[in-house]
Amino acid sequence: MKKRIVSVLIMLSLFLSLVPPTLAADLSSDLSSDKHNSNSIGRVKVSTISLPSYVILQDATYTYSGKVFISYKTADDLNTTDYFNFAVLNDDGTDFKLIFSGVIPLNARSGGIRYMPFQDNKRVLLGDYVFECMPNLNNCKSNKLVPITYPTSLSTDPHISSVWSEIIIAPDNKHMAWTILLSNYTAGQAIGVLSRKTDSYVLENVQLLSKPEPFVNDPNKPGFIIPPTSTRGGEVKQFIQGGNALSVVGAKDYVTADSVIQDLTSDKVTHITRTPGYDETTIFSPDERLGMVMSTRFSKQTDPAIFGILPRPAYAGSGINGILYFYSVAGVRTFRSGDIGPALIDIDRSMNEPGYQGINLSTDENWVYHSPMSWHPDGKSAMWIEGRRGLDDDLHKRLQKVNLLDYKPHKTVPIKPTTDNIPYATKDLTKLTSSSNGNVQGKIAGKKSGYIDYVTTTTPNLSGKSEAQYVNFSDDGVNFYNGYEKYNYNYLSESVYEANLQLTGKQPGEMNLRATFSSILGDTPARLLFETAADGKPKSYGYAAFKGTTLHIEDLLE
């Protein structure tokens, strides 16, 4: 759980069983009146991939050859620490081949184990190791686990709690990017070249893709501060654009979590998702015209859109995303009725069309999305894991597949050498932990008028607070903010978010609400509490409104 707390807080920091018989469902997207008909997805079919009865599924991903690579347990090794079985099979469940069984010792300061196939179809990146198969994964006659050596400055830094939590490998088979978790509940990203040595892989030419950019004093206005210009640091999910951009959990313009593209050749950061709720991972199809998104958008009763529907500066309200993860994702996996996707989207529509939702690929309320997601190399099908709601124990999972019945993929985006000339990167790895500061106080000037009186403090025991007082604040001279939003969090007790904020101008809106969440610990993490508070009002009440839509916190009552 600690790893999840840390990785969620940084996403917008600054301010990181036996499978049942095959189930199939036909879902269609009504795009007949859509002006983007060339991007229409069409009909899709969702089914469960059959596995042998003794397989207790852990993880699965498509390989570059179109095989399914799975990790699983059996009754015989269920209680053996760090024991793994790997197999490959076709995505219709046939031709199941065991290619590895044994203990894989895991490092204490790492994210456990992940499965990222290399484009050469001979290797799988695990995080602490590279799993090599000869002559290839499809016909593995011999295998080897080769350890990865991370830079000493990272592996020995006392301010780093996990040297890696997420890992991805570029299609050039060389460049690896990963997310690093810090002990102050922030995180960063790094990239390096994975070089094969005699008995190990060594990460060379390592660069930080993110470094803490603190609020700084405004030299021209005493008492004023300048917010950070970068929000890089969220979990890395996929190399895209041939290997020269990343799909990342992050932020750009909105308060609630979104999925973004982080370019490696420029400073450009581009929104992929634009819903007011909680959007996290986007995995792109081979032609990069479609994506699969972990999202709360189809779950009206647990979608935290009320916190994001009113647009406002991301640095002022983004601290809420930590608790929103436990409410809308962890809670849904463990006990709360709801849906976290995946959503199948047209990337262009998702980036440019207000209100676009895509297709919900969830077919059974008793099963909930788990990572990872992956695409078949032909771009006509994709795959993900689901777990039984209330049994978030890695022992009750199934493997889901969606077939795109009408979609005609374009050519796969060509592979290019991943650049080492990243304009915002630095080879000084000490910058990751040398300049972060979670305590900030000062006024932030609007670009056109007014200011935000901003303060945030953090403590080492998973608690802190933030407050933003808006005084005629405007960045465009057309829309003006007045009021406040406050957030006092304590992940071991109750957390309270309050807002009384008015937006006037061309697109008016407002927030007048209080949301009180229970502790993230226990059997019912981050419940919204509605009983009477000390002031005689409910612990949670109120609404948010924008562009003709009004959302009420009472609609989230369980």
Q: What is the pLDDT of residue 558?
A: 83
What pLDDT is recorded for position 27? 40
Q: What is the domain count for the chain?
A: 1
Q: Prior bond to 342 cis, omega within 30?
A: yes
Cβ atoms of 269 and 346 within 8 Å: the answer is: no
Count, in order, helices (H) and strands (E) of the chain.
Answer: 7, 35
95 in any annotated domain: no
Structural domain of 539: 438-556
Q: Residue 386: is it exposed, middle or buried by C-beta count within 10 angstroms (0-12/13-18/19+)? A: buried
Residue identified by tokens 């106080």 is 441
Cα–Cα distance, 168 to 161 (Å, whole number): 19
What is each CA distance from 82 to 59, 73, 335, 492, 496, in whole angstroms?
Answer: 14, 10, 28, 30, 39
Token pair listed for 422: 């990243």
Helix (H, G, I), strand (E, B) or coil at 501: strand
Give start and end residues of each alpha helix (H) in 32-123: none
Strand order from edge to edge, sheet including 129-134: 116-117, 123-125, 129-134, 142-149, 201-208, 187-196, 175-182, 160-169
Q: Residue 9's pLDDT is what?
A: 38
Q: How far apart are the first and last CA of the chain?
A: 23
Contact present, 69 and 89 (Cβ < 8 Å): no
Q: Cα separation of 376 and 372, whole Å?
A: 13
Quick one: which of 11, 26, 24, 40 has its CA closest to 345? 40
- Tokens (6 digits) for 390: 């209330």
Q: How many Å apart are CA 433 and CA 426, to the nearest integer?
A: 13
- Indicate whether 501 belongs to any domain: yes
Residue 428 lies in a domain: no
What's the pTM?
0.91
- The SS3 assignment for 208 reads strand
Q: How far is CA 445 from CA 114, 227, 475, 504, in A?
A: 43, 10, 9, 18
Report the alpha-carbon distance of residue 343 to residue 473 in Å, rounded. 36
Is the CB of residue 348 less than 8 Å from the CB of residue 283?
A: no
**pLDDT at 230 (0 to 100):** 63
What are 389's two structure tokens? 């709601």
In eight-state DSSP terms, residue 272 is S
Q: Sheet containing 495-504: which strands, arranged edge to edge?
A: 440-445, 449-459, 463-474, 480-490, 495-504, 509-517, 541-546, 549-552
- What's the pLDDT score for residue 259? 93
Alpha carbon distance 467, 297 (integer Å): 27
- Which pLDDT does position 7 carry in this prediction? 36
Tokens for 138?
């499809």
pLDDT tens string for the chain (558 positions)?
Answer: 443 443 333 333 322 322 222 233 334 333 322 333 334 799 999 999 999 999 999 999 999 999 999 999 999 999 999 999 999 999 999 999 999 999 999 998 888 999 999 999 999 999 999 999 999 999 999 999 999 999 999 999 888 999 999 999 999 999 999 999 988 777 899 999 999 999 999 999 999 998 767 788 999 999 999 987 666 778 999 999 999 999 999 766 678 889 999 999 999 999 999 899 999 999 999 999 999 999 999 999 999 999 999 999 877 776 888 899 999 999 999 899 999 999 999 999 999 998 899 999 999 999 999 999 999 999 999 999 999 998 766 789 999 999 999 999 999 999 999 999 999 999 999 888 865 556 889 999 999 999 999 998 887 778 889 999 999 999 999 999 999 999 999 989 999 999 999 999 999 999 999 999 999 888 888 999 999 999 999 999 999 999 999 999 999 988
* Residue 361 counted as domain residue: no
User: Which strand (E) or helix (H) includes residue 413?
Assistant: none
Biggest alpha carbon distance in the chain?
70
Q: Between the CA atoms of 343, 345, 347 and 349, what dihedral angle is there, to the nearest 10 degrees?
A: -120
| Residue 282 domain flag | no
Structure-token match 């900030």, residue found = 440
Q: How many angstroms separate the CA atoms of 38 and 34, rounded?
A: 9
Residue written as token pair 């991370």: 150
| Structural domain contains residue 459 | yes
Any domain includes 464: yes
Contact between 185 and 321 under an 8 Å Cβ cutoff? The reply is no
Tally Cβ neighbours within 10 Å of residue 89.
22
The pLDDT value given to residue 423:
94
List the one residue out of 543, 534, 528 whose CA is nearest residue 494: 528
How far is C-alpha 57 from the geometric centre of its chain's CA atoms?
Answer: 22
List Cα–Cα distances, 419 to 123, 174, 416, 558, in angstroms: 22, 11, 9, 49
Sheet architecture: strand order including 258-263: 236-240, 245-250, 258-263, 269-271
* CA nearest neighbour of 489 among 326, 278, 251, 299: 326
Q: Is residue 19 in a domain?
A: no
Collapsing DSSP to helix, strand or coil, 285 comes out as coil
The encoded tokens of residue 377 equal 């190399």
Q: What angle do CA 226, 502, 311 make, to 5 degrees?
A: 60
- Find, among 468, 464, 465, the residue nearest to 454 by Cα: 468
pLDDT of res. 319: 80
